A = this chain, B = another copy of it.
C-alpha cells in the first residue's frame, strides 16, 4: 500500500465518537502497513478534541489481535484495518475502523473476464474492498456471467469477505471458480486449497491478474510433514491473543501425541516468531495460533512447524489427501 492510495481512516467519525463518549484517553491500533500514519492521525485527533492519544506499538495482524493491555489503559480503542470478529469480548470499548480503499475495481474485473472459464463465479475479497463487490458483480453480469457472493460464518462481517484464517465465504458448492479482488497472495491461496477450485487474483492497485497457484505451498507443506515423521518431541504453540487462542485444540493434540508415544509440550506466547522458539530444542512444533505463521514463515523455524491438520497426518490420524489450510472457524 503506497502513500498515494486513498484509504478511509474516518477521522471525522473518530472525532465525533471521542466527543460523544467524553473520553479523556484513547488508544489507536494499526496493522503494520498503516503504522506510519499513526503520528499524523494521532495529532489531528488530539488537536481537535484535547484527548490524550496512546498509540499501540505492538505488531497487529488482524481483528484477532486486539491490544488487550492498551484496552485496559484507555476508555476507547480505535482498531484500524480490520472488521469485527464475532467473538470479541472486548468490543464494547473497541471501534473497528475498517479503512476501506477507494481504488476502482471495475477495470481489473473487465481484464479478468476473458480468463474466467466457468459460468458461475464466486466473488471474494478482504474488508478493504467489500463495498466494491457490487461493482465487480455488475461487470461480470454485463459479460453474461452468473455471480455469487456468499455469507461466511460468524467470524465474517460481510458477504464475500475472507480472512487469512477463514474462507467460509468461499464454500459455495456450485461455484465454478473464484475471483479474488485484492493485492495479497495468502487469502486466495487459502481459498484455492479450501475449495480445490480455480482462483483468479484481480489486483486493483496495479491492475494485474495472477493465478492462485497452491502447488509450491503444497510441496512446502509436504516437506514439513515428511521432516516431522521421525520427531519424538513436539512443542505445541498456543497464542494468548484473544482471537487466536486455541488451548482446547492444543490439549487434544497433546493427548493425541501421548497416545502415539510422543512427547508434547504446550508453549504459550503472545507473538509467535522463529527467534522466540529458537530456545526450545524440540524436534518439531505445532502452531495453533494464527494459521498464516506456519505457511508464511516456512523454513525460518529451527525445526519443522506444522499446522494442527498436518500434525494429525504425522501421527497417522489423518490421510495426506485430507490436507487443507488451517482455519479458525466461527459458528
Residues on A close to B: CB < 8 A?
27, 32, 35-36, 38-39, 42-43, 52-59, 67, 69-70, 73, 233, 235, 237-238, 240, 247, 251, 263, 265-272, 276-277, 279-282
Contacts and interface: CB of A to CB of B under 8 A. Distances in A.
A280 B35 contact: yes
Main secondary structure, interface of A, reads mixed
Contacts of A233: 39
Nearest to A240: B69
Contacts of A56: 267-269
Contacts of A52: 251, 266
Contacts of A247: 73
21 contacts: A39-B233, A39-B263, A39-B265, A39-B281, A52-B266, A53-B265, A53-B266, A55-B265, A55-B266, A56-B268, A57-B237, A57-B272, A57-B276, A57-B277, A57-B280, A58-B268, A58-B270, A59-B276, A70-B240, A73-B240, A73-B268
Protomer copies: 2
A263 to B, nearest CB: 7
A265 B39 CA distance: 7
A269 B58 contact: yes
Most buried by B among A32, A53, A265, A280: A265
Contacts of A54: 238, 266-268
A73 to B, nearest CB: 7
Top 4 A-B pairs, shortest CB-CB distance: A57-B269, A69-B240, A35-B279, A57-B267
A60 B237 CA distance: 17
A52 B255 CA distance: 11
Contacts of A281: 36, 39
Nearest to A242: B69
A91 to B, nearest CB: 19
Nearest to A238: B54
Given A268-B54, A268-B57, A270-B270, A280 B39 contact: yes
